[in-house]
Amino acid sequence: MTLRRRFLKTHPAALVLLSFLLAILAGTGLLMLPAATRGGLIPPIDALFTATSAVCVTGLIVVDTGAFFTGFGQAVILGLIQIGGIGVMTLSVTLFRWLGATVPFHQRMILQDLFCHTPREDIYGLLKSVLIVTFLAESIGVVLLAAGWAGTFPLPELAWMALFHAVSAFCNAGFALFPDSMTPWAADPFINGAICGLIIVGGIGFPVIDDLRRRLSGRPPARLSIQTRTVLWTSGALILGGAAVFGVLEWRSLAASPSIAHRLLAPVFQSVTCRTAGFNTVDIGGLQDATLAMMIFLMFFGASPGSCGGGVKTTTLALMAAFTWSRMRRRCRVNLFKKSVPPDTVKTSASLILLSIGVIGGVLFALLAGETLLEPAAGGGRFLAYLFETVSAFGTVGLSTGITPGLSAWGKCWIIFMMILGRVGMLTFAYGIVGRGPENGVVYSEENLMIG
């Protein structure tokens, strides 16, 4: 079988995963070059971890990005973030179109799976919209951050800081060139607003942005799709609810802050960044256990489909809530906004949640077992920290209680696996479970089973 025929027979989900793996390997090689680090050397596992975190737009770090990497190394990380944010396949199709070459059918189908909730003929129009939105949002972010940091850094450094953090925020990566992330600007409404705005726009998904653009321009369809309405309502509820719960649970530490702006902004900022962004304006390791548990819930569901973020996705949460409500009311169909959701979609959502919980549980056990067997002197009592780290990697969030740099090679490998799985793996699992044309298989005689 020729390479071309093998490529055409490869499942689109597998091609997406392969493209991300190739980008990670290329990024690892570039970060291992002497010009990428100030010391001229980085352990291979740390280079792989950083490249994976950048391509999967996670933000977990094992070294201080601003202090450890040179300008070249930081530029490599920024490029990997941009590639991972909008997708390797998106860039490859763009290159094909720019060169005037015919785009393979497989790649067009991949774009449709990534950015469309219903089949579309104008897939190239959607691709153009994705690139325009990315460029405009990041450009606006650069201007806002540069204005907010004016006078803080010299002009060349100011431009680089604004560019790096604007791209990192829009792509929901969470990489920062400051050792304490955004903590120095915890009480700055302008910086907080710019970062949160970029995170939200990059996290609601390109299909939603395209739908809103069509709606505002007066183009058909006249009504917003169920996808857009579900994403907007669920995202708004999670952000506002998370901010309220954070404020209640951390009211003592917030009340101790002399800045009223910090008391008001910190809960909102951390609720937004839990949606897969990874920036922080408070010490995550110093938060209450209940606050960390709430953040784990937000990180698990993450961003929305077709966005720069990872996680199980907001639409899955909304669909499972609607499914539970319909069952409580003894209704067979699941309805959202006066539309019935196909049963296969409901089954896929339930399967994704069960698989995700199972994988998180398995990786968490592997991390704890590795700590017990490889580093018995470390002691116990770090269950919540490891659970937080695992879910943060799976949701491609990047928040950490501070244990990332101290992970063993064993632990880093598992977190790398979770970052990749959280960014692209659940799509592959979904196709493996439901597929495009499910078969009935063997049908046996029925027998009841007690549940509950």
- The verdict on residue 234 lying in a domain is yes
Structural domain contains residue 441: no
Query: In the predicted model, is pLDDT for residue 429 greater than 70?
Result: no
HSE-CB at 318 with a 13 A cutoff on CA atoms is 24
Q: Which residue has the higher pLDDT, 88 or 414?
A: 414
pLDDT score at 158: 94
In a domain, 195, yes or no: yes
- The answer to whether residue 3 is domain-embedded is no
Alpha helices, DSSP H, located in 32-175: 44-55, 65-68, 71-86, 88-99, 105-115, 123-148, 155-170
Query: Does 283 fall in a domain?
Result: yes
| Torsion angles phi and psi, residue 177, rounded to 5 | -90, 5
Q: Ranked by mean pLDDT, which of 18-27, 207-216, 285-294 comes out on top?
A: 285-294
Residue with tokens 């439901």: 434
DSSP three-state, residue 121? coil
Per DSSP, the residues of 8-60 read: HHS-HHHHHHHHHHHHHHHHHHHHTSGGGBSSS---HHHHHHHHHHHHTT---
Contacts of range 22-30, beta carbons closer than 8 Å, 24 or more positions apart: 22/88, 23/55, 23/80, 23/83, 23/84, 23/88, 24/48, 24/51, 24/52, 24/55, 24/56, 24/420, 25/51, 27/51, 27/54, 27/55, 27/76, 27/77, 27/80, 30/76
Residues 130 and 206: beta-carbon distance below 8 Å: yes
- Where do we find the tokens 């296969």? 344
Evaluate whether residue 277 is within a structural domain.
yes
> Is residue 137 assigned to a domain?
yes
pLDDT band at 13 (very low <50, low <70, confident <90, very high): low
Q: Which tens digits make up the pLDDT trace of 356-370?
A: 999 999 999 999 988
Q: Is the pLDDT of residue 102 over 80?
A: no
Domain residues for the domain of 40 are: 9-433
Total tally of structural domains belonging to the chain: 1
Q: Is-above-0.75 flag for pTM?
A: yes
Peptide linkage before 44 cis (omega within 30 of 0): no
Domain contains 438: no
C-alpha distance from residue 158 to each of 148, 161, 191 (Å)? 10, 5, 14
